[in-house]
Structure 1
Amino acid sequence: MTTSSHPRPDVRIATAADADVLERLWALFRHDLSDVTGELPRPDGRFRDERLRAALDGAPGWCAHLAAVDGRPVAFALVRGVDSPVRVLSAFFVARAARRHGVGRAVAADVLRRTPGTWEIAFQDANPAAAAFWPRVAADVAGDRWALEHRAVPGGRDLPPDAWIRLRVA
């Protein structure tokens, strides 16, 4: 897959009809993230999915975005606080075959630009791909209107702090 031979990703708000696709992509996302978090699946073989459930079940302030290339799902983004002054990009995933071809940056920029205003994005410094990716996205979308800070993980006394990017999308 290359960006020159494939169209830019088509990003849209996910609907209830996308639940199965999002659940499958969620499993891949949590599997990838387990390298950083050390989290194992629950006894039923599934990873925790509270954020996905909130977005799929229409919890207030939540929405899911789904991206496809050539009709194939390649990425998703979960957003909370869509009805708040500060939106949080709560989960973001790009399928491995679509990575390093500009797909992730295009999807992230599209999602952020859909709702101008203040956004926050968390990631772990222990995830080098995310630590390199999110500052580039912030600069793409917000120029110099972004900042990086580290915050303690609520209830995670033994965990390193999360990195948070706060940016302003015009």
Structure 2
Amino acid sequence: MTDVTAHLAEAADQPTLERLWLLFRHDMSEFSGSLPAPDGSFRSDRLQAALTQADWAPYLLTSGASPVGLAFVRSLAAPTRVLNSFFVVRGARRTGIGLRAVQEVVAKHPGPWEVAFQESNVAAVAFWRRVATEIAGDAWAEERRPVPGRPDLPPDTWITFDASTEVQG
């Protein structure tokens, strides 16, 4: 499993994205302390925004015929795009699929980017620093910002980089 395609989700992809969203939120609950609702679902406001709002682009990540993840981009009309949610299923992790998926999504929306992650998510820390370096070389920055409306959580770590031109390796 080395190939990946990031395609802009269509209405027919919504059930798949909803299932992947549950897996993503379950993974993230380790770092946010969030629990499922009584029906077993997790908060889905970002999923709904990605599927319905014009300033968002929801991508379904596939390897062959298998869904392997999702990527939600927001702030398409703003000067800086935000990779709001990114998830790769565990069976596809550490195969290079995540890096290739981010590169493909970012290439579809050239310009400045921001990505947030939790410092306690050690795998995400290494992944996003590698992604930034692969896309922007040494021209990326990292800072910590408070989580809006969640003073009980540690600050998020944000990586910023510009994907206007591809780094030659």
Which TM-score band (shorter chain)? over 0.9
In 2: Cα distance, 1:117 partner to 1:145 partner: 13
Deviation at 1:67, TM superposition (A): 1.3
Contact 1:113 1:141 (8 Å CA) reproduced: no
The alignment status of 1:63 with 2:92, answered yes or no, reads: no
Aligned-residue CA RMSD (Å): 1.0
Deviation at 1:8, TM superposition (A): 1.4
In 1: Cα distance, 2:102 partner to 2:146 partner: 25
Percent identity reads 50
Runs (4+) of structure 1 moved beyond 3 Å?
none
Q: Kindly provide the CA deviation profile for residues 45-98 of structure 1, in whole angstroms up to 9, marking residues without a partner as x.
A: 1000101001112x1201101111111100110010112111100000001000
Contact 1:55 1:64 (8 Å CA) reproduced: yes
SS in 1 for 2:120: coil
Q: Residue in 2 aligned with 1:26?
A: 21
Normalising by structure 2, report the TM-score: 0.94
Give aligned pairs, total. 164
**Residue 136 of structure 1: which of 125, 130, 136 is its match?**
130
Instruction: List runs of 5+ in structure 1 lacking aligned partners.
Output: 1-5
Superposition map of 1:117-156 within 5 A: 117-156=111-150
| 2:8 aligned partner, one-letter code | I
Normalising by structure 1, report the TM-score: 0.93
SS in 1 for 2:7: strand
Instruction: List runs of 5+ in structure 2 lacking aligned partners.
Output: 165-169
Q: Kindly provide the CA deviation profile for residues 3-62 of structure 1, in whole angstroms up to 9, marking residues without a partner as x.
A: xxx3410111111110000000000000111111111011221000101001112x1201
